[in-house]
Amino acid sequence: MPGHLTTHVLDTATGRPGAGIAYRLYRIDGQNRSLVAEGRTNSDGRADAPLLTPKTIAPGPYALQYDVADYHRSIGLALLDPPFLDVVELRFGISALDQHYHVPLLLSPYGYSTYRGS
């Protein structure tokens, strides 16, 4: 399959998908950023469509931002002011245009992890 980028969020504190989380994908060029894609995760915690497709994928550094404090508030979690995690940003690089890059976010109110998925 030609190169593309997908993402999803799992709420490890509740054991459920991170539904309704706003995200933004930026292409980084030195000190500049350009918005490439944005949306909200669906009921399964996934972006409805690839954030980068074979037509839009390009090598280089990227940043994915997730509005996690807004999500935690939306599910009724009381957060401190300011919250420990507000916006999580994951920076990663794309080098092979013929590969599928999958960036999952495993999330709790006080920590997160990620990895290159498949």
- What total number of domains does the chain contain? 1
At residue 88 the predicted structure's pLDDT band, cuts being 50, 70 and 90, is: very high
At residue 118 the predicted structure's pLDDT band, cuts being 50, 70 and 90, is: confident
Tell me which residue range forms the domain holding 57.
Answer: 4-114
Q: What is the pLDDT of residues 27-48, one digit of tens each?
A: 999 999 999 999 999 999 999 9
The CATH code of the domain that includes 9 is 2.60.40.180
Residues 6 or more apart whose Cβ sits within 8 Å of residue 32? none
Q: What is the pLDDT of residues 48-71, one digit of tens each?
A: 999 999 999 999 999 999 999 999
pTM value is: 0.95
How high is the pLDDT of residue 1? 60
Q: Look-up: residue for tokens 């092979």? A: 96
Question: What's the average model confidence in pLDDT over 6-16?
Answer: 97
